């Protein structure tokens, strides 16, 4: 008997899991809580780094930048990306094309589910999203990945990389956080959009004698 998956699983990947991927993770956590309310726990968001040192705290400048955007970075700790981490993930979003290559080296079967964040945001503009908002929440991220992958054939490869702010000023971290938010917001809107409810049937008018 097939098991029923109740959760939406998303994974963000950068290098040290100190700036870019935890910024994206915390933003999506915050938006899920805002948009989904009691259904927010259905969305499991994580981040990892291809060269992360497990347990290292988030860069304080990135933490401040994402907090200024309304997210809560409290307790964020780095985690190294390991084989098997993407096996049950619906959508993998990486900071750069190099990170995506590392993901695919660890899990070639993730090809249709792994995108750079910039690539996913731009593919969204040309992907066929017909009926996607009618797909139940628990299956929407996986279906979105299918639609984005299909749109790849219609788009040339470009530089979609999000720069690394590590070691830079707070202002650079703010700029990177704003860039990530701008790329991620349209994807979140598609993932969390509530299906439109059909209008209630009109009651027939009562004609009195």
Per-residue pLDDT in tens (0 to 9) along the chain, 209 residues: 344 455 789 999 999 999 999 999 999 999 999 988 888 888 899 999 999 999 999 999 999 999 999 999 999 999 999 999 999 999 999 999 999 999 999 999 999 999 999 999 999 999 999 999 899 888 999 999 999 999 988 766 677 899 999 999 999 999 999 999 999 999 999 998 865 554 555 555 555 54
Q: Is residue 3 in a domain?
A: no
pTM (2 d.p.):
0.89
- 127 and 155 Cβ atoms separated by less than 8 Å: no
- Number of domains the chain is built from: 1
Distance CA 195, CA 209 (A): 42
Q: What is the pLDDT of residue 155?
A: 66
Token pair recorded at residue 9:
């699983």
Q: What is the pLDDT of residue 84?
A: 94
Instruction: Find where tokens 């939406």 sit.
Output: 8
Q: Is residue 200 in a domain?
A: no
Token pair recorded at residue 97:
């094309």
Beta-carbon contacts of 23 under 8 Å, excluding residues fewer than 6 positions away, are 62, 65, 66, 71, 176, 177, 180
Distance CA 196, CA 76 (A): 35
Q: Is residue 162 in a domain?
A: yes
Which among 167, 158, 23 is positioned nearest to 96, based on CA atoms? 158
Q: Is residue 204 in a domain?
A: no
Q: What is the pLDDT of residue 148?
A: 96
List residues bridging with 13 in a β-sheet.
48, 94
Q: What is the pLDDT of residue 203?
A: 55
Q: Is residue 198 in a domain?
A: no
Q: Is residue 205 in a domain?
A: no
Q: What is the pLDDT of residue 4?
A: 42
Distance CA 103, CA 97 (A): 10
CATH number of residue 67's parent domain: 3.40.50.2300
Residue 57: how many other CB atoms lie within 10 Å: 13
Q: Is residue 1 in a domain?
A: no
Query: β-strand 8-14 against 91-94: which pairing, if any?
Result: parallel
Average pLDDT, the chain: 89
Token pair recorded at residue 53:
């040192």
Which among 52, 63, 47 is positioned nearest to 12, based on CA atoms? 47
| Cα 121 from chain centroid (whole Å) | 10
Q: What percent of the chain has pLDDT over 70?
A: 88
Q: Give tens-digit pLDDT for 74-130.
A: 999 999 999 999 999 999 999 999 999 999 999 999 999 999 999 999 999 999 999
Range of the domain at 131: 8-192
Q: What is the pLDDT of residue 157?
A: 66
Query: β-strand 43-49 against 114-116: which pairing, if any?
Result: unpaired
Q: Is residue 131 in a domain?
A: yes
Q: What are phi and psi of 141, to 5 degrees?
A: -65, -40
């Amino acid at each position: 008997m097939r098991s029923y998956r109740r959760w939406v699983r998303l994974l963000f990947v950068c290098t040290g899991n100190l700036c870019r991927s935890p910024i994206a993770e915390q933003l999506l956590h915050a938006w899920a809580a805002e948009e989904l309310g009691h259904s927010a726990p259905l969305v499991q968001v994580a981040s990892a780094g291809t060269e992360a040192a497990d347990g290292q705290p988030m860069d304080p400048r990135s933490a401040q930048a994402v907090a200024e955007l309304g997210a809560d970075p409290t307790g964020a700790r780095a985690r190294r990306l390991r084989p098997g981490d993407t096996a049950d993930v619906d959508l993998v979003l990486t900071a750069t094309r190099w990170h995506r290559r590392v993901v695919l080296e660890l899990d070639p079967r993730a090809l249709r589910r792994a995108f750079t964040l910039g690539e996913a945001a731009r593919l969204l503009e040309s992907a066929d999203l017909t009926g996607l908002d009618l797909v139940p929440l628990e299956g929407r991220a996986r279906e979105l990945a299918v639609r984005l992958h299909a749109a790849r054939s219609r788009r040339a490869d470009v530089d979609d990389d999000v720069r690394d702010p590590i070691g830079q000023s707070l202002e650079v971290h703010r700029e990177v956080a704003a860039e990530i938010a701008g790329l991620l917001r349209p994807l979140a809107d598609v993932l969390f959009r509530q299906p439109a409810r059909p209008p209630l049937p009109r009651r027939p008018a009562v004609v009195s004698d």
